Amino acid sequence: MNKWIEGSIGGEYPPQISENEFNQIYLTGLGETMIKKGHYSTMKVINACENESDELCEVFMKLHRLMGYNYQIEKCRFQERILIDELLSIELEITNIGVAPMYYDWDIEFGILSNEKKLLKVFETDYKTSSILPGDNIIFKVKKSLAKLLKGKYNIGVRIVQPNSQNEKSDVWKLDSRNTYILFSNEVEVISGYWDSQNALKGGWSILGEFDIE
């Protein structure tokens, strides 16, 4: 907990502030200092970017990118060739390069996709995203059977998704599907997410690489 010694844990600065305070936060270096020491997840401003050429919008977007969690893939290890009766072992090392942890635990899943990027298998995990503090480095590990898959080329994907978003449900979430899965800071191929007819999230996979079953 020493990481939090210089500020509170998380929080949100409300929009109901005086004009002087507003200008201090967004038009001086105070906003950046608050985010880094207070570990803010968000700092609301009403209509901050109505005019994208305004100085306020430019500063707001800069501060917005500093806030919250931000996961960066450091390393990924798996067998590039595997026999049909072997277990597939995946190790994914990530770092939270943001200023805050996630506000609650989202689901971390690994997926096996076909060469055409069709989802074939999902491997769930029990890792806790809320415990990954800024600067923390963690390795996610899975070791699973590829039973029932034929010989050929496949892709490995990973996604961090809002709990229950991936399950079928009777109610419609009034939420853009892009807000239910996390993008890594790295430039990796992403299978875009969408809601299917049963209100379950499909896609949202970040592709980690290819392997062959022999």
Together in a domain, 144 and 181: yes
Specify the CATH number for the domain of residue 144: 2.60.40.10
Together in a domain, 147 and 170: yes
User: Which of 44-48, 99-103, 140-144 is predicted least confidently?
Assistant: 44-48
Q: What was the pLDDT predicted at 198? A: 95
| Domain extent at residue 41 | 2-66
Together in a domain, 34 and 53: yes
Q: How many domains does the chain have?
A: 2
Count of CB atoms within 10 A of residue 49's CB? 14
Per-residue pLDDT tens over the stretch 9-61: 455 555 566 767 777 777 778 878 877 777 776 666 656 666 767 777 787 77
C-alpha–C-alpha distance, residues 106 and 94, integer Å = 15
Together in a domain, 173 and 91: yes
User: Which of 18-32, 35-49, 89-103, 199-213 is predicted least confidently?
Assistant: 35-49
User: Cα dist. 144→15, 86, 124 in Å?
Assistant: 48, 9, 10
Per-residue pLDDT tens over the stretch 48-80: 666 767 777 787 777 777 778 899 999 999 999
Together in a domain, 154 and 193: yes
Together in a domain, 113 and 180: yes
